[in-house]
Amino acid sequence: MVIDLATRFEPKIVGFLCRWCAYTGADLAGLSRINYPPNITPIRVNCSGRVDPTLVLKALATGADGVLIAGCHPGDCHYINGNAKTIRRFKLLQRLLQQFGIEKERVRLEWVSASEGGRYARIVESMTEEIRSLGPLNWKKEMAIAA
Amino acid sequence: MIKNDIREMGLTRVVVASCSPLMHEPTFRRAVQSAGLNPYLFQMANIREQCSWITENRELATERAKAIVNAAVMRVNFNEPLEVEKIPVNSNVLVVGGGITGIEAALQIADSGKKVYLVEKEPTIGGYMTRFDKTFPTLDCAACILTPKMVSVEQHENIELLTYSDVTDFSGYVGKFTAKIRKRPRYVDEDKCTGCGLCEEKCPLSVPSEFDCKLGKRKAIYRPFPQAVPNVPVIDREHCLYFTKNICKVCVKFCPHHAIDFEQKEKYIEVPVGSAILATGFDLFDASRIKEYGYGKLPNVITSIEFERLTHASGPTAGKIQLKNGNLPESVAIVHCVGSRDQNYNEHCSRVCCMYSLKTAHLVREKTDAKVYEFYIDMRAFGKGYEEFYKRVLHEDVTFIRGRVAEITDVAQNPSEEGKLIVVAEDTLLGIVRRIPVDMVVLSVGLEPRKDAGQLAHVFRISRSKDGFFLERHPKLAPVSTAGQGIYVAGACQSPKDIPDSVAQGAAAAANVLSFVDKGEIEMEPTIAILKEEACSGCKICIGLCPYGAINFDESSGRAVITSVLCKGCGVCVAACPSGAIEQQNFTNKQLMAEIEAICS
């Protein structure tokens, strides 16, 4: 099958990356020239624990098709255990999203260490593919109609 | 260029779209600052590492670069000028642990003119090294190189030595900590005692000596060994006849300086320090956990530390390597990796055992005519002069058998095994199971985190790695720092280490401490949490979440209070506050929302 690149859906993903592990890991992917789909745009935060669910909802509401939250592996948090709090918060966020009818594949929590450039690239790749097959979220449009 | 533009055009915000901020954000901030603009009014857009370098799809990459730049431009609108707070540093340093690592760190710091509080929980400093006979690979005697350093510690005018003590609480923040130290009673007045030893001589009660692994005896009033520092005995309350039966008091009678004080009580002192070094060392693996090795049941199966005491000239046998019945062994087996590299016990390699096992083999060959069998898995001779030492022992008529020992038994299968210990192992080079009858087995036990490591990590609010040792900030680039600012780790409390590496880390931690103590102040990142008091409902959710204990509840106002110097800027409380009363500087909701909108629109 020939994929028509011109008309193919390109999902828009917002990535919240912690500066110590995930952001450094994502930098490493670039430094190592590992290719992955340029569909993710990073926002740097100090810790994945800073990611308020409101920020995720804001991204989805303003036009993102997916959100990635990435932090240090459990036990490796630069702030002792900020990521443990992210895990707890993320579970509640997933329930909330489910109630909104948003597929759980659209919002992911992943651990990427500063040395895992390859892992980061694979995560973005698989996420992009998954969301591409789900199609656009169109939340922005739907919200506009509802309003 | 940036500087000129700021000056000529009167710029109020600057965005640079280039590489990762991890590399050059500080460079550009400095440039902006030197042109008179607050450095936090600068924003960096990373269009290289996470954009142009990851794809060959030019069209998409360009779209994305635009979004990234747009996000930075929208965000910078909400950037606020921030001041880097400088806080003064107390130059006193706390060193916990008086082994060779702590001694090295304490001496380095004290020599620079700073005050050191050295806390040791045993009655004497010196640590494990005081119990060793010779040290690999040079075979110099441990006491000869260690005791002069111990004496230097005692005599140093800048070191306050607190033995028989432990740290029970450590509060405050970098530059201004308070350590609470518990001094256990020795029942001997340190100021009056001259260390003459008469009390030890006269004490009528002998009990097994812990220092000698219970192979020898000590009195109920004792110094662990004659060169103890401080040279002041301690009364063992559990055995002393006065404490157990209210009789005796012989020591009181004979002490010429009236130094015995049965009324001494536990004492707590508080000392102000600006930083701390943890050098609390290790525990030895308890060999009785491996049932098939028979330790504790078979009398001539001993551990390597017991061997150290046997071969030590001032040990219980005056250096004679002998069996429990006093005879000399005709054959000795040395078993490597006891409790190390073993999924059932500790997965890590204890690093020192290969080398000290070679030393054991050498000492047995030197002092007896015994045949020596060394059972190893891999021979790890990694340090300076270590491989050469291995080669030397190879030529000393030692039989090396490659294979993990499966069992040590006294059940003989043929007459040649009668009355012997039989070491059973698969020789992985020959591919056969071998049974070697010997008279003595030395178990080379591995190194483990100390049993109280978890408790101490809690007191100092630092993390531990999976194996239980203290976690360093970076395994390669910050090996003696921890996630706790101003708190350092050195030596075997971070991972198993030999003496040279421990000393190097002790000195490294001292250098780390001195680099900021000498400056007199440290700069705090201003990306911390700020409370909008009027919005705080006093729900206390943030208090339990803060990993640094930086948030407290003020009963009088019914609101939370953030101690800014304790805040490290993770932002967990910001995300959790249901009233939106906490903001993180330079990561405000406004800034992040602006970024999100710019990316998504």
What is the DSSP secondary-structure string of A54-102?
A: HHHHHHHHHT-SEEEEEEPPTT--TTSSHHHHHHHHHHHHHHHHHHTT-
Per DSSP, the three-state class of A18 is strand
Q: What is the pLDDT of residue B522?
A: 87
CA B408 to chain CA mean position, Å: 34
pLDDT per residue over B567-577, tens digit each? 999 999 999 99
Could you tell me the two tokens for B248? 């005796």
Give the residue from B363, B338, B335, B361 showing the smallest Cα distance to B421.
B335
Q: Which residues contact B44 (CB under 8 A, 6 or more apart)?
A: B15, B16, B17, B18, B21, B24, B25, B28, B72
Q: Which residue of B has its CA nearest to A27?
A: B49
Q: Got the DSSP string for B211-235?
A: TTTTSSEEESEE-SSTT-SS---EE
How would you label B78-100 residue by residue, b for 16+ Cβ within 10 Å and e otherwise?
bbeebeeeeeebbbbbbbbbbbb
Average pLDDT, integer, range B367-388: 96
Between CA B255 and CA B575 the distance in angstroms is: 66
Average pLDDT, integer, range B422-442: 97
Angle at the Cα of B591 from the Cα atoms of B588 and B594, rounded to 5 degrees: 145
Closest Cβ opposite residue B596 in set A26, A53, A62: A62
Average pLDDT value over all residues in chain A: 91
Which residues lie across from A67 on neighbouring strands?
A14, A107
| B chain contacts of residue A47, beta-carbon cutoff 8 Å | 570-572
Which residues lie across from B173 on neighbouring strands?
B176
Neighbours of B27 (CB within 10 A): 11
> Tell me, what amino acid is at B440?
M
Burial status of residue B63 (CB atoms within 10 A of its CB: 0-12, 13-18, 19 or more) = middle
CB contact under 8 A, A55 and B589: yes
Which residues lie across from B17 on neighbouring strands?
B45
CB contact under 8 A, B600 and A24: no
Q: Give yes or no for residue B388 having a pLDDT over 70.
A: yes
Q: What is the pLDDT of residue B146?
A: 96
Q: Got the DSSP string for B324-376?
A: TTSPPPSEEEEEEEESSS-TTS--S--SSHHHHHHHHHHHHHHH---EEEEEE
Closest Cβ opposite residue A85 in set B22, B572, B600: B572
Angle at the Cα of B51 from the Cα atoms of B50 and B57, rounded to 5 degrees: 140
Residue predicted with more confidence, B475 or B439: B439
Q: Which residues contact B244 (CB under 8 A, 6 or more apart)?
A: B238
| B chain contacts of residue A50, beta-carbon cutoff 8 Å | 570-572, 574-575, 584, 587
Gap from B380 CA to chain A (nearest CA, Å): 27
CB contact under 8 A, B600 and A82: no
Average pLDDT, integer, range B164-173: 93
Residues B87/B565, Cβ–Cβ less than 8 Å: yes
CB contact under 8 A, B587 and A46: yes
The torsion angles phi and psi of B305, rounded to 5 degrees, stand at: -70, -35
Angle between helices A22-31 and B21-34 (to 10 degrees): 100
> Tell me, what amino acid is at A87?
I
CB contact under 8 A, B461 and A58: no
Closest Cβ opposite residue A14 in set B55, B548, B600: B600
Q: Got the DSSP string for B460-493?
A: HT--B-TTSSBPPSBTTTBTTB-SSTTEEE-GGG
Closest Cβ opposite residue B584 in set A19, A50, A75: A50
Residues B85/B524, Cβ–Cβ less than 8 Å: yes
**% of chain A beyond a pLDDT of 70:** 95
Between CA B22 and CA B35 the distance in angstroms is: 22
The torsion angles phi and psi of A120, rounded to 5 degrees, stand at: -60, -45
| B chain contacts of residue A24, beta-carbon cutoff 8 Å | 22
Per DSSP, the three-state class of B379 is coil
What does chain B come to in residues? 601
| A chain contacts of residue B48, beta-carbon cutoff 8 Å | 30
Q: Which residue of B has its CA nearest to A86?
A: B572
Q: Name the one residue in this structure whose structure tokens are 């009181």.
A: B252
Gap from B24 CA to chain A (nearest CA, Å): 13
Average pLDDT value over all residues in chain B: 95
Between CA B509 and CA B94 the distance in angstroms is: 12
**CATH for the stretch A13-146:** 3.40.50
- What is this structure's pTM? 0.80
Q: How many A-B residue pairs are in contact by the CB < 8 A criterion?
A: 135
pLDDT-derived band at A3 (thresholds 50, 70, 90) equals low
pLDDT-derived band at B471 (thresholds 50, 70, 90) equals confident
Q: How large is the greatest C-alpha to C-alpha distance in chain B, in angstroms?
A: 100
Between CA B435 and CA B601 the distance in angstroms is: 76
Which residues lie across from A108 on neighbouring strands?
A68
pLDDT-derived band at B22 (thresholds 50, 70, 90) equals confident
Angle between helices B58-76 and B589-600 (to 10 degrees): 150
Neighbours of A118 (CB within 10 A): 15
Cα atoms in the Cβ-side hemisphere of radius 13 Å centred on B581: 19
Between CA B384 and CA A99 the distance in angstroms is: 64
Give the residue from B568, B578, B574 showing the smallest Cα distance to A86.
B574
Residue predicted with more confidence, B99 or B547: B99
Gap from A69 CA to chain B (nearest CA, Å): 13
Closest Cβ opposite residue B575 in set A24, A37, A49: A49
The torsion angles phi and psi of B170, rounded to 5 degrees, stand at: -140, 105
Q: Which residue of A has its CA nearest to B599?
A: A41
**Residue B184 DSSP class:** -
Q: What is the pLDDT of residue B473?
A: 81
| B chain contacts of residue A37, beta-carbon cutoff 8 Å | 55, 60
Could you tell me the two tokens for A78? 């630069």
Between CA B508 and CA B480 the distance in angstroms is: 7
pLDDT per residue over B487-539, tens digit each? 999 999 999 999 999 999 999 999 999 998 999 998 888 999 999 999 999 99
Q: Got the DSSP string for B71-120?
A: HHHHHHTT------EEEE----EEEE--SHHHHHHHHHHHHTT--EEEE-
| B chain contacts of residue A35, beta-carbon cutoff 8 Å | 54-56
pLDDT-derived band at B469 (thresholds 50, 70, 90) equals very high
pLDDT per residue over B266-296, tens digit each? 999 999 999 999 999 999 999 999 999 999 9
Q: Give yes or no for residue B540 having a pLDDT over 60.
A: yes
Residues B184/B141, Cβ–Cβ less than 8 Å: no
Q: What is the pLDDT of residue B151?
A: 96
CB contact under 8 A, A50 and B21: no
Residues B135/B92, Cβ–Cβ less than 8 Å: no
Average pLDDT, integer, range B87-105: 97
CB contact under 8 A, B569 and A46: yes
pLDDT-derived band at B461 (thresholds 50, 70, 90) equals confident
Residue predicted with more confidence, B255 or A3: B255
Cα–Cα distances (Å) from B592 to A14, A66, A73, B73, B409, in that order, read 12, 17, 24, 12, 68
**Residue B41 DSSP class:** G
Instruction: Label the pairing between strands A13-18 and A66-71.
Output: parallel
Region of residue B286 (phi > 0: left; psi between -120 and 50: alpha; otherwise: beta): beta
pLDDT per residue over B473-490, tens digit each? 888 888 999 878 899 999
Give the residue from B110, B109, B105, B108 showing the smallest Cα distance to B127.
B105
Gap from B278 CA to chain A (nearest CA, Å): 18
Could you tell me the two tokens for B19? 């590489």
Q: Which residues contact B155 (CB under 8 A, 6 or more apart)?
A: none
Which range, of A17-21, A122-126, B108-112, B475-479, averages the lowest pLDDT? Answer: B475-479
Which residues lie across from B333 on neighbouring strands?
B373, B441
> Tell me, what amino acid is at B89?
V
Q: Give yes or no for residue A2 having a pLDDT over 70.
A: no
Q: Give yes or no for residue A1 having a pLDDT over 60.
A: no
Residues A39/B60, Cβ–Cβ less than 8 Å: yes
Q: What is the pLDDT of residue B172?
A: 85
pLDDT per residue over B419-429, tens digit each? 999 999 999 99
pLDDT per residue over B299-309, tens digit each? 999 999 999 99
Provide the residue ranges of all domains of chain A, joining segments of one domain with +.
13-146
Q: Give yes or no for residue A146 having a pLDDT over 70.
A: no
SS in 3 state form for B500-541?
Answer: HHHHHHHHHHHHHHHHHHCCCEEEECCCCEEECHHHCCCCCH
CB contact under 8 A, A59 and B67: no
pLDDT-derived band at B601 (thresholds 50, 70, 90) equals confident
